[in-house]
Amino acid sequence: MSSRPSRGPSRALIAGAATLSIALLAGCGTSGSGSGGKSGDAVKTRVFAADNGSVEIPVDPKRVVATGYAVPVLIEAGADLVGISTWDRGLAMMDKDDLATYKGLKKVAGALAAETNYEAIASTKPDLIVIGVPKPVMADIDVKRLESIAPVVAIGPTVPSAWRELSKRQADAAGRLDHFEQGRAAYEKKAAELAAKYAGALKGVDFGHVGAYGDVAKGTFHREFAQSWGTNIAQDIGVTYYGRVKEKGGGALDVSEFPSIEELPASLGDADVITYTVEDDGSVSEPVQYVLDSELWKNLPAVKAGKVFPLAFTEAATYASAVKTLEATDKALAPLLDR
C-alpha cells in the first residue's frame, strides 16, 4: 500500500497522495481493560490518537497487521506481525534479517489500498490493524469492515520529512516504542558524526535538488526543496537547500514542484551545489536523465563547476533505512571535503 507512485507518474497522482494534513499527536491516553482476542480474555487497553480519531487498542498487541508505510517501521521495531501489505519499493533498504522477516510474513494486501484482502486479514485473527496510507487513499479501504475484525489505527504519510514522527507513532501503536528509540538513537549518532565531518565544507553553501518525479512527456522536472524526499535526510548533516515552492499544494507539494524544463536556469541557477535522486542501485531514472541531458542543465553554474552529486536511498522512511541514506550521502558529498 504505497502512497508514493512509481517513477515518472502524473502530477495528479503525486498531489492525490500528498494532500494528507499533518496530524502529529502522539498516541497516548487512558488505560483500561476490555475483551481481548477470540477467547474473551481481558486485556489492558488504552486510547490512541490516530488519524481516524481516538481508538481503543491493546496496550501490548500480540497479533498486528500493518499496511503501507507502517510495514517497514513495524518490521524494524520487531512488532508481533501476522500480516502485511507488499512493500516492494523499500526492499533494497532492508537489512538481511528484516528482509527475511518481510518475505516470511503473510501478504494480506497489495501495493495499492484497493488491493486489500479482507478475508486474508480476518484469517490472521489480528488484535490491531495499523494502516499507513495517506488520507485520500483511505477512500479505497472499507474501514468499517476492518473495524469489525480488529481495532484500526490510521497513521499515514504527510510531508516527506514527517516520517520521523509518523514512524514513532506507528511503533507506539504496536507497543514497540522502546525498540524504535534504539533505531532513532543510532541514526542521530551517525547524523551528528557526519554533521561534524562536513561542517566546514557545507558552511554558506546553497544546494538545489532534482527529484525523480518529473514528467518527460509534459516536459517538466521535479524540483525538491527542504523537507522533501531527496533533501530531508541530507539536511540532518547540515546541507542547506535554498528556495521554496511558488505555491503550496498540500503535503509533498508544499516542499516540491514541477516546473517546465525551460525553467531550469531560474530554478537552479543560484545553487552552489546540486544533488539529484538516483535509484538505490545507482542507476538514473528517465525523468532525471531527461534533466541531465538538457543543454540548460549543462550550462548551470554548479554543473560547470563540477559540483553535482547523485543521492541514493532518498525514499527512506524509517531510521534504519535512513542510515543507508546517510551513508550514501557521505559517499556522494565526499569530494566537497577536498575543495
What DSSP state is assigned to residue 24? -
Residue 338's pLDDT band, with cuts at 50, 70 and 90, is: confident
Check whether 232 has a pLDDT greater than 70. yes
List phi, psi (to 5°) of 290: -55, -40
Q: Higher-confidence residue: 1 or 334?
A: 334
Q: Specify the pLDDT at position 250.
A: 86
Residue 56's pLDDT band, with cuts at 50, 70 and 90, is: very high
Q: Give the model confidence (pLDDT) of 96-142 as tens digits.
A: 999 999 999 999 999 888 899 999 999 999 999 999 998 888 889 99
Q: Give the model confidence (pLDDT) of 14-49 as tens digits.
A: 433 333 333 333 333 344 444 444 445 678 999 999
Report the alpha-carbon angle 124-29-123, nearest 5: 5
Measured in whole angstroms, the distance separating CA 166 from the mean position of its chain's CA atoms is 9
User: By mean pLDDT, which of 2-16, 56-70, 318-332 is the weakest?
Assistant: 2-16
| Average pLDDT for the chain | 89
Check whether 153 has a pLDDT greater than 60. yes
For the chain, give the percent of residues with pLDDT over 70.
88
Question: Is domain 199-338 in CATH 3.40.50.920, yes or no?
Answer: no
Q: Compute the average pLDDT of residues 298-326.
A: 97
Judge contact between 51 and 295, C-beta under 8 A. no
Q: Specify the pLDDT at position 326.
A: 98
Q: Higher-confidence residue: 192 or 26?
A: 192
Q: Specify the pLDDT at position 143.
A: 95
Check whether 295 has a pLDDT greater than 90. yes
**Taking the CA of residue 164 as centre, how many other CA atoms within 13 Å lie in the half-sphere pointing to its CB?**
13
Q: Specify the pLDDT at position 286.
A: 98
Amino acid found at 15:
A
Check whether 8 has a pLDDT greater than 50. no
Check whether 10 has a pLDDT greater than 70. no
Q: Compute the average pLDDT of residues 159-176.
A: 96
Check whether 89 has a pLDDT greater than 90. no
Cell numbers found for residue 35: 475483551
Give span(s): CATH 3.40.50.1980, the chain.
11-175, 199-338
CA gyration radius for the chain?
Answer: 21
Q: Specify the pLDDT at position 339.
A: 65
Q: Specify the pLDDT at position 41.
A: 60
Residue 164: closest CA among 324, 327, 316, 4:
316
CATH topology of domain 11-175: Rossmann fold (3.40.50)
Give the three-class secondary structure for 134. Answer: coil
For the chain, give the percent of residues with pLDDT over 90.
81
Cell numbers found for residue 330: 557521505
